[in-house]
């Protein structure tokens, strides 16, 4: 437990919060660049697509399950085996962006323990577990 | 001249949304001829344009774009609500991730507050996303309409305060070190703060996370009042902390949408770019457009979009 005095004034981010900010900054740049590059590959047709953009209007009003059944679009982690397809390649950029918070959280566990913030470190570990469960598709 | 341009841009935005509101619910979506009549590339361009307007208004009103994106695009575009919600989540996630590092460096967001709240929020948003993808479309439209109308009422009724906390320090807040001093970049003054009602805040964030995951909405509309009014964070710190929490909470829901294949790049990329570009214009508009005017514009748009979504759900 911290006392009221221990929780008193702090300035802008320092220590583990600054590490979190640095990792987030790097991750978001990589993720956004990947999303833009893969989108450019898709719309310019540099790689063959599972569903070419011109065919999308006939299926984009379908619910996801029907859309996947009709088009053979990937679900779960299937996309990782089909990165040679322009549209599926876009999933990699999304996955990178979705991994930024996980990476930042993992990165601050040790600094938190070093700072004797055991309760916060435990919550961060639990948070990582929740995000990994979501990422795994285990509950699908 | 700038003031006139800003006024015209705002009026144009209001006019576009107003004109759209006059269309019967699902007008474009329910008309295959309209979909077939436009080339495929026109849709991402239209989506970019609408997202651009959303970005302008959202920044001026101090909310995230997701809460406007899903109901507006859901009632005007032919895409299925599954993909629209996926794009809405990605939009909110990208915005939060982009802003997060700067907010942390400037001391305008507090990770100590974000961590416990986002644990509850992200578990709930994962559950909400699963639930949302299981519901039939007409039920989703109807419940989205109800939620958006509730959000509009909450925004209408809520008045943020910026006073120092009066209650004694919360035991959990002290345990997690949720207090301190933040420097207001506008005035340069240092503002002491101390969180309170942490357990109630965690429960509130779980509810907000569930709704956000289910409907792909950003959560700023609810996070900020929860952090400011319930937990006693100063308003600017609440705004930054809310944004940072979205990056953690939306991650879980976004993974669910990705795993279910509920993402279309032709949607989320133009939407992300449109909102980012609109936000840049919106920041300039802040000088000439009062936050109160923007807030009323958002409330009006939410009422219209919510009513349309509800009608769409009830009539389909």
Contact B248 A137 (CB under 8 A): no
**Orientation angle between helical segments B198-215 and B137-157, nearest 10 degrees:** 140
Give residues 1 to 30 of A whose Cβ lies within 8 Å of B. 1-4, 6-13, 16-18, 20-22, 24-25, 27-28
Contact B122 A130 (CB under 8 A): yes
* DSSP bridge pairs for B181: B192
Contacts of residue B100, defined as CB under 8 A and 6 or more positions apart, other chains included, come to A21, A24, A28, B109, B243, B244, B247
The CA distance from B214 to B144, in Å, is: 9
Which of B35, B119, B259 shows the shortest C-beta gap to A140? B259
Print pLDDT tens along chain B (316 aa): 445 544 545 554 555 555 555 555 444 444 444 455 788 899 999 999 999 988 887 777 667 777 888 888 988 899 999 999 999 999 888 888 888 898 888 888 899 999 999 999 999 999 999 998 888 888 888 888 888 888 888 878 876 555 555 667 788 888 888 988 877 777 778 888 899 999 999 999 999 999 999 988 877 778 888 888 889 888 888 888 988 999 999 999 999 999 999 999 999 999 988 988 887 787 677 666 666 777 787 788 888 888 888 887 788 7
Q: Which residue does chain B place closest to A135, by CA atoms?
A: B255
The residue assigned the tokens 């962006």 is: A97
Cα distance from N-terminal residue to C-terminal residue, chain A: 39
Q: Would the pTM of this model clear 0.90, i.e. be above it?
A: no
Give residues 59 to 88 of A whose Cβ lies within 8 Å of B. 60-64, 67-68, 73-77, 87
Contact A120 B176 (CB under 8 A): yes
Q: What is the pLDDT of residue B235?
A: 81
The CA distance from B208 to A26, in Å, is: 28
Chain B residues in contact with A76 by the CB 8 A cut-off are 259
Contact B80 A62 (CB under 8 A): yes
Q: Give how far Cα B214 sits from Cα of A24, B90, B209, B250, B253, Å.
A: 25, 13, 8, 11, 8
Chain B residues in contact with A56 by the CB 8 A cut-off are 40, 264, 266
Cα distance from N-terminal residue to C-terminal residue, chain B: 47
Which of B97, B254, B260 shows the shortest C-beta gap to A28? B97
Give long-range contacts, CB 8 A cutoff, 24+ apart: B199-203.
B199/B172, B200/B230, B200/B231, B201/B117, B201/B226, B201/B227, B201/B230, B201/B231, B202/B116, B202/B117, B202/B119, B202/B120, B203/B120
What confidence category does residue A71 fall into, taking pLDDT thresholds of 50, 70 and 90? very high
């Amino acid at each position: 437990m911290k006392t009221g005095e221990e929780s008193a004034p702090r300035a802008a981010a320092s220590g583990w919060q600054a590490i979190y900010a640095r990792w987030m900054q790097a991750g978001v740049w990589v993720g956004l660049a990947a999303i833009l590059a893969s989108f450019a590959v898709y719309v310019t047709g540099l790689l063959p697509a599972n569903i070419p953009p011109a065919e999308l209007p006939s299926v984009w009003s379908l619910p996801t399950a029907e859309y996947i059944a009709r088009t053979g679009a990937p679900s779960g982690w299937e996309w990782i085996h089909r990165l040679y397809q322009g549209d599926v390649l876009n999933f990699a950029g999304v996955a990178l962006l979705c991994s930024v918070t996980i990476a930042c959280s993992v990165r601050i566990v040790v600094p938190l323990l070093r700072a004797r913030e055991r309760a916060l470190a435990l919550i961060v570990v639990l948070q990582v577990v929740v995000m990994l469960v979501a990422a795994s598709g285990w509950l699908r | 001249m700038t003031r006139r341009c800003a006024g015209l841009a705002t009026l144009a935005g209001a006019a576009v949304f107003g004109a759209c509101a006059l269309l019967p619910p699902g007008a474009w979506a329910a008309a295959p001829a309209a979909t077939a009549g436009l080339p495929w590339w026109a849709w991402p361009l239209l989506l970019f344009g609408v997202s651009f307007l959303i970005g302008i208004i959202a920044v001026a009103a101090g909310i995230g774009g997701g809460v406007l994106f899903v109901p507006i695009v859901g009632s005007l575009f032919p895409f299925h609500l599954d993909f629209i919600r996926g794009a809405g989540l990605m939009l909110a996630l990208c915005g939060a991730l982009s802003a997060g590092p700067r907010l942390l460096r400037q001391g305008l967001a507090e990770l100590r507050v974000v961590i416990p709240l986002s644990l509850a929020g992200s578990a709930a948003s994962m559950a909400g996303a699963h639930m949302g993808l299981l519901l039939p479309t007409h039920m989703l439209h109807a419940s989205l309409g109800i939620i958006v109308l509730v959000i509009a009422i909450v925004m209408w009724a809520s008045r943020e305060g910026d006073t120092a906390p009066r209650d004694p320090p919360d035991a959990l807040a002290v345990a997690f070190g949720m207090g301190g001093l933040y420097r207001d970049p506008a005035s340069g003054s240092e503002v002491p703060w101390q969180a309170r009602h942490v357990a109630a805040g965690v429960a509130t964030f779980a509810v907000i996370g569930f709704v956000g995951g289910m409907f792909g909405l950003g959560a700023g509309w609810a996070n900020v009042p929860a952090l400011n009014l319930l937990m006693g964070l100063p308003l600017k710190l609440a705004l930054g902390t809310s944004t940072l929490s979205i990056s953690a909470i939306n991650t879980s829901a976004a993974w669910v949408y990705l795993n279910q294949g509920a993402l279309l790049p032709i949607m989320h990329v133009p939407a992300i770019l449109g909102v980012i570009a609109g936000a840049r214009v919106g920041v300039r508009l802040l000088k000439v457009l009062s936050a109160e005017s923007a807030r009323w514009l958002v409330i009006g748009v939410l009422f219209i979009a919510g009513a349309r979504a509800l009608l769409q759900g009830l009539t389909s």
